[in-house]
Each structure stands twice: as C-alpha cells, then as structure tokens.
Amino acid sequence: MTTAPQTAPADALPSELVRRLLTLATAGSAPSVEVFAPATGVKIADLPQSDTADIENAFVTARRAQREWVQRPVRERVAVLRRFHDLVLAEQDIILDIVQTETGKSRVHAFDEVGDVAVNARYYAAQAQRLLAPRNPRGVLPVLTRVEVRHRPKGVVAVISPWNYPLALAVSDALPALAAGNAVVARPDNQTALTALWAIDAAERAGLPKGLWQAVLGRGSVIGGEIIARADYVDYTGSSSTGRTIARQAGERLIGCSLELGGKNPMLVLADADVSAAAKIAVRACFASAGQLCESIERIYVHDSVYERFVTEFAQHTRNLALGSARDYSYEIGSLTFQRQIDTVTAHVEDAVAKGATVLAGGRARPDLGPYFYEPTILADVRDGMTVYREETFGPVVSVYRVGSDEEAVERANDSAYGLNASVWSRDTGRARQIAARVEAGSVNVNEGFIAAWGSVAAPSGGLGISGGGRRHGPEGLRKYIDTQTIAVQRALPIAPLPGMSEAMWAKTMTLYFGVMKALRQ
C-alpha cells in the first residue's frame, strides 16, 4: 500500500459553519455528545441531542408545514428540487469537506454522494408531476362508471439514515418524500449529523419552507421508538437486526416502512470475462468508502480457468491503492469511521488467517495514518466455519474463491441469507444477463460492480432476504410515500337490476357481459 502526500490535512471544520448548522437541529434538551473526526481524532462538535419534547415539537411543526406544502402545485415543489440540485453541485467543496471530516472517507468516494444526490434530485424533479398525476382507469361499466385515482401523501415521513453515506442516504430518500407532498423528520447518525443539517439548510435556501424538513439528533436506541411512534411512514437504512426492530414497531402501528439493510454481495467472474477490466473495477466495487457500503462486493467467485490471472491483477491493483486523509483527490482509500468497524475487520481477518486463509493483499491496520485505517485486504482459501465466510464485514475485506462452472458460481453466490447486490462478468452480455437473472439479489450489475444499477435512478433499488424490503429510486421510490384514493362516479344506470328485472335475470345478464368483456380483452 502507498501513502498519499498529506497536502491538505483534514483539520476541524470552520467553527462558524458548525455553529450555524447546529442551530437547524430540533435538539438541545438532552445532554450533548462529543463527535470526533475518524481520520484525525480532531473534535468536530459538541452535538446537541433531542429528548421526547424536542421530537414532539419537530412532528407538530412538520405537520403544520406539511398541510400548507401539500396545497402547492407539484411544479412548485419540484422547482425546489431543481434549485437544490444546483446548490449541491455549486457548493460541493463545502459538503465534501463535511462528509470527509465526519466519515473519514476519501474525497473520491465522498463525491459519489454528491453525484447520487444530484441525479436523484434531477430525476424526481423531472418525473414527480407525471407520477403524481391523477389517472382514470376503466370503470366496472365502461362509460357509465367514471373512476379517478388520486394520490395523497402519507403525512410526515421519518428518514432514519446511517453514517456511512450520510449525504446520499439522508437526502436521496427525503427528496421524493418532499416532492410527493410530505414533510420529513430526519434522524441522521450522530457521527454525520452536520451533513444532514447542511442538506436541510441548502434545501431551505432553495425555497423549501422552514419546518418542512427537520432533524432530530440522538442514538437510535434512545430516540428511535419516539420517532416511529409519531411517524406516518418510516424509511430506514442500516443493519438487518435494527431493521427487524423497526419493522415490528411500524407493524404495531400499522404504518408502512421501507428497509435497506445489510449485504454480503457476490461478484461472479465467468470464464470468458474481460479479466483485466474485472480486476480493475473490483477494486472500487470492494473498497469504496473503505468497504463501508451495503452494496460493496465481499465475495468473488472466479472461474478456475482465469482465477490466477484475475487474482494476480486484482491483488496488484489493491496493493497500489493510496491511503490517506487529505481533503483533496490525492488518495483513494480513507479511514474507517469507528473503533467498532476496525475491531470487526481485524477480528474477521485474524479469525480467517488462524483457520487457514491466505492474505493476498493488505491484512494490516495502519495506525501510522490514523486510528481507524486498515489496508484493503484480499483473502483466499476462505471456507465455511470462518466468520468472514457468511457474516457481513462492512469493511475493506473481500474473499476470493475458485469455481469450476457457471452453475457452481450461481449456487455459491446464492448461498447467503442476504440478497442486496451482485455483479456478473462476461464478454457475452446475453449470457451474463441470463446468469444475472438467476442470482438472488435486488440488483445485479453486468460488467460493473454496483454503480451501474445504483446510479440508474429511474430503476428501483433494494434487497431480498435479510437485506430488506421496499425500494428506493425509480417510481417505487416516490410511490411508497403516497396513498391512493379511488373516486368512482356512477352515471345514468345503477349497478343493480333494472326495474322489473329479477335477480336471476340480472345474474344471467352480467354473466353474458363478463364473457363479452373477456372476449374483447377488456
């Protein structure tokens, strides 16, 4: 591994910026907590925390703002998204500094979040009017029955977002909720709260009414239940274990929830793959944000005929990665975010090595760079019984396996309780698509790692199995935030026997009608 020159150390954020952003939080009644920059250990802020009264106030204010917001034409709502899109791109240096400081990730991977938010803002600004327009499906008796389907926002949506992608996951789920006419009460992770607060500030500068999008702060285990008890819908991204808890709490209230949870994502390198391209892209697919990404590849199944070449090139690319903590594009891999993350990574690697795994690249913590740096690591000879074999690492660790056929690759890829993302590599894209359709994952990328599917925001994204339920992106990413109302108007004749007609004659008449409609394919 190489170390990039530290030309722009990730020091503390400007105190004036921090103070201004903290005023946007509906918090302060509970004792504050200290937050530190993972890469350097520099203190970021004393972060105010929300108590029950703060949370209640946030929801009361949000409901008041939502009643006015929903009366605005959709074109006015999406105009805010367009202006927000422009602000994110114009002020990207500021938000990149905040994201890097709070997470420790490289600027390369922080920019992925800027791109994600811009693309989502643009998509929903362009599509919301069409998706929310009333529609007129055929009535039970054509011409005589006029049906209108209208869309109504849920009300106040709770967006509970994690620390690993604090801009993308806090914002890109909030935007369609707002476009649909909802208010949003956000609960960002304490570690990355400033990122979410910057987004709220930018949205208000773009024209979003104050109070429509708010943030409450605190640990999920402390305030999560209070949020869910007041929300009309819950959008959560995080661990599978917490997802189960949220699903139970939402179910008790009979409100909907969308859950994107963990992943143990496979990559399949078939015999006819472009090995050099696969080895190069695998680096980003496995180690983006130091592997702290639900979509990251953690298992690679390589056909025996190309295994040696793939592993050689992949390991070389991985060893050449530059690690560091500068606020510029001079390095490729940043820090892990928490002590618990480096503890998990270390435990998984040490357990695997102790049980016979081979380290092909990396395998070491780098305290010389910062407290939570760990080298991107490739393991071979991993087998069942090693912790890393089945458990999500959520760090810069990937295991590589030999397979003898497509069938074996698919079988082993599907041997997991997770089902979030996958990758298939082949020069024959038709064949690769057939293989992809057999992989049990919510998204499968052909000749890419995760960005092709994730970045195509007109298509839904989400998981199978313990990777969650519900979808973000695409029409589904907006429609989950609305309820439908059907208004049916019956004209001229009732849906009942005519005067003097017996029920038996009515049944025969309707039976004939049903047969005619079937023949007409109506």
Quick count: other Cβ atoms within 10 Å of Cβ 503? Answer: 9
CA-CA distance, 251 to 492, in Å (whole number)? 43
For residue 360, give the 3-state DSSP assignment.
strand
Q: Name the active-site residue from 102, 113, 294, 313.
A: 294
CB 363 within 8 A of CB 393: no
CA 190 to chain centre: 18
404, two tokens: 């003898």
Distances (CA, A) of 35 to 39, 106, 342: 12, 19, 18
Question: Alpha-carbon Rg of the chain, whole angstroms?
Answer: 26
Partners of 297 in beta bridges: 265
CA-CA distance, 520 to 522, in Å (whole number)? 5
Q: Name the active-site residue from 102, 226, 260, 392.
A: 260
Is residue 286 flagged as an active site residue?
no
Distances (CA, A) of 228 to 105, 443, 473: 30, 28, 23
CA-CA distance, 158 to 55, in Å (whole number)? 11
CB 152 within 8 A of CB 132: no
CA-CA distance, 26 to 72, in Å (whole number)? 25
Note the residue count of the chain: 522
Is residue 260 flagged as an active site residue?
yes
CA-CA distance, 120 to 127, in Å (whole number)? 10
**Which residues participate in catalysis according to the annotation?**
260, 294
